[in-house]
Structure 1
């Protein structure tokens, strides 16, 4: 069984707050758009964005949505900063517990990610001179084990996102991560393309470990321009590198055929990370959500 979810980041990069540019929607606008176009799940977004406790459960129920996952970045490779970050993970797990739908077959997956560093953020796509050494990998693996145990103690299964501008980004770093841990992988098509990987090959390479999928289409020319120009992730988002499914360089049909043919079961989270700009067509984001869901109906009615 595969279910299709959406994510607040497709409406705007909320982590940028007021510096994002255009108007960011509220939780009800996000949920109503997803519900109207046939999505059955939603990612958590910033902690508390969808509400807490009974308010969270009521909002999800009202729109017919279940929690699919939620990104939680922690400084896994920093031995001093990591212990201090664990309250953030604990709060996120509280929210997952509050929003958990007991009658829904698919549980949300707390989506762990590395926080990266200033150096990595200056080199999206990865850089051989800005990478973990053996000691760094040992530290990361130990700390991931601690976080994974916290997740499992709450009745959830963790997944790990290979994220741009972090120490687990390139195909080689993903290999090293999977060899060093027992945690499943969130395969993100757009971030893998940015890191020089091939999502179709990634399904074959890591299929047995993939327990969560973020699907986004991407324009390779924009991504290459950012990397060659030594830009950052804001340049990726503002440059509209991530586009509706079928309008970029992701081989959507080949990818979906491989995903389903490989027996994947779980959440398929549509992400089209964007920064709304002043003057953007106010209906554009809803149009994109309709396009993305309609493209996937060929595979997941």
Structure 2
């Protein structure tokens, strides 16, 4: 089985917490991640918006675009508005050969609001979840018809956060909306990562290998502290530096035949946790557990080069 290792630039620049950002260029971010061994990078705010600008930068760094976040609003808004907003992203991602667009629901989400405690996140009724899942399926099918599949990102502080919410969303949605499994977000929410893989492996098309610091999460007061408070306190980190058993997680994905991207997305203070050092730790741990699980890691970002 083949796999590819990528990173998210959130280790260098945090869009929601500016104080957790390192003042490095896109080129330096790509250089550091590639020197650690990663061949992919998800889109971040410092990326160019046209393929003519982006591709030369990526090729020079020998790093490919392995995904990127789209802020969806389908829980409240209609398909047409989201189609209009995502179309330029579809065009760009197709032109640079990205594998998928990560759909993150921001409607009713409190993930970016530090004033709203974790316990105040929105909860959908059964009927609302069914309708929402149906809209996401239609949207995912439309994006795939345009040539760019989505990957649905369950997320802390969003409408699909807990494991039972993932189960409900998957039950009421269809194959047109694949799932991004994020180990860190699911574990933060108290879910069982291995069980979620067993239940939904047929729909998983993208994986975020985010680790957690369980002691930080255990110390949170959900009635007073927000998701961003948790991030600032160091709730997340890279594989090999946290509390999750990625040997077991990767093995379970291998058991179900998953092939594709494993992306390290670990937002934390770059001054306390230098991104290059963290990238090296994450890559070393993932290489170890993936080789043990029978994966062959691809080493070229652009095999045609």
Change (3 A) 1:118 1:170: closer
State how far apart, in whole Å, the 2-side matches of 1:243 and 1:85 are.
32
Secondary structure of 1:226's aligned partner? coil
Q: Deviations over 1:37-63 (max 9, x none)?
A: 1111111123x6244221111111111
Under a length normalisation based on structure 2, what TM-score does the superposition of the two structures give? 0.85
Specify the alignment match of 2:58 in structure 1: 60
Say whether residues 1:150 and 2:147 are aligned partners.
Answer: no
Q: Deviations over 1:118-176 (max 9, x none)?
A: 5676353786xx41113422431233134213321221222101011111111111011
Specify the alignment match of 2:281 in structure 1: 291
Change (3 A) 1:21 1:7: closer
Runs of 4+ displaced beyond 6 Å: none
Q: For the Cα contact (< 8 Å) 2:12–2:22, is it kept in 1?
A: no
Q: For the Cα contact (< 8 Å) 1:217–1:250, is it kept in 2?
A: yes
Change (3 A) 1:209 1:125: farther
Change (3 A) 1:56 1:99: same
| 1:223-238 equivalent positions in 2, closer than 5 A | 223-238=217-232
State how far apart, in whole Å, the 2-side matches of 1:135 and 1:266 are.
34
State how far apart, in whole Å, the 2-side matches of 1:226 and 1:98 are.
43
| 1:1-301 equivalent positions in 2, closer than 5 A | 1-16=2-17, 19-46=18-45, 49-79=47-77, 83-100=80-97, 107-117=98-108, 122-124=116-118, 130-182=122-174, 183-276=177-270, 280=271, 284-298=274-288, 299-300=290-291, 301=297
Q: For the Cα contact (< 8 Å) 1:190–1:216, is it kept in 2?
A: yes
Q: For the Cα contact (< 8 Å) 2:7–2:263, is it kept in 1?
A: yes
Under a length normalisation based on structure 1, what TM-score does the superposition of the two structures give? 0.86
State how far apart, in whole Å, the 1-side matches of 2:265 and 2:205 are.
16
Is there any run of 5+ residues in structure 2 with no aligned partner, and where? 292-296, 298-305
Change (3 A) 1:217 1:2: same
Say what the alpha-carbon RMSD is for the aligned residues. 2.3
